[in-house]
Copies of this chain bind each other. A is one copy, B any other.
Amino acid sequence: MATNSDDKLTDLEGAALAEFARMGPTTSYAVAASFRASPSEFWSGSAGAVYPLTKRLFERGLLSGALSAQGRRGRTDYVVTDAGKAALMDWLLDGGRAAGMGFDPLRSRLIYLDMVSASEREALLAQVETWAKALAQQQIWTDRPLAQSVHEAWMRARLNFLVDVTRIVQDALPPTRG
C-alpha cells in the first residue's frame, strides 16, 4: 500500500491545520482571516496562499471537506481528519524544529551594526524600542487568552533582548564611528 504520509508539514501547513482544528468545521476564508489578524507580518493570509494550501491538505487526506448546503452560496467547511490530527501532533510536538532560531529582522540587522555610525545606531535602536513597546501593549487575541499571553511574553522577551543588546553594542563599539 502506498504510504501517503511521506513528508512533514511545513510550519504554515501546521499552523493552518491547527487553526482548522481550533475553529471546528470552518472555511479557508476564516483561516486566512485569522492569519491576517495575527500580529506576525510573516504570513500574509492571502487567498493565493491559503486556498492552494487547503487543497493540498485535503488531497493528502488531512482535511475532509463538507460543502454546507444552507443557502445557494458555495462554501466548504473543512474538518481535520484522524490522519490530520496525527500530522498536527507531529508538527506541534516537534521539539527539534521548535528549538530552531527562526527569523528575526532585528537580529539579522544587529550583527552588522558595526557598519554604521553611533548616531545612526542609536536612532535605529530607539525607533525599534518605540515600535516594540507599542506592539507589546496591543490586545490582539481577546478571545484566546493563551495566544495573547504567549504574544505578551514574546514581546517582553524581545524588549529585554533589545535592552541587553543596546548595552552590548554600547560596550563593544566606539562612540564615534565603527
With beta carbons under 8 angstroms apart, the residue of B22, B104, B123 that contacts A154 is B104
A53 contacts B by Cβ under 8 Å? no
With beta carbons under 8 angstroms apart, the residue of B93, B107, B113, B145 that contacts A124 is B93
Please tell me the number of chain A residues within 8 Å of chain B, measured between CB atoms: 65
Q: How many copies does the complex hold?
A: 2
Q: B160 and A112: CB pair below 8 A?
A: no
A95 contacts B by Cβ under 8 Å? yes
With beta carbons under 8 angstroms apart, the residue of B97, B102, B105, B146 that contacts A169 is B146
Binding site for B on A (CB under 8 A): 11, 14-15, 18, 21-22, 39-42, 88-89, 91-93, 95-116, 120, 123-124, 127-128, 131-132, 135, 144-147, 149-151, 153-154, 156-158, 160-161, 164-165, 168-169, 172-173
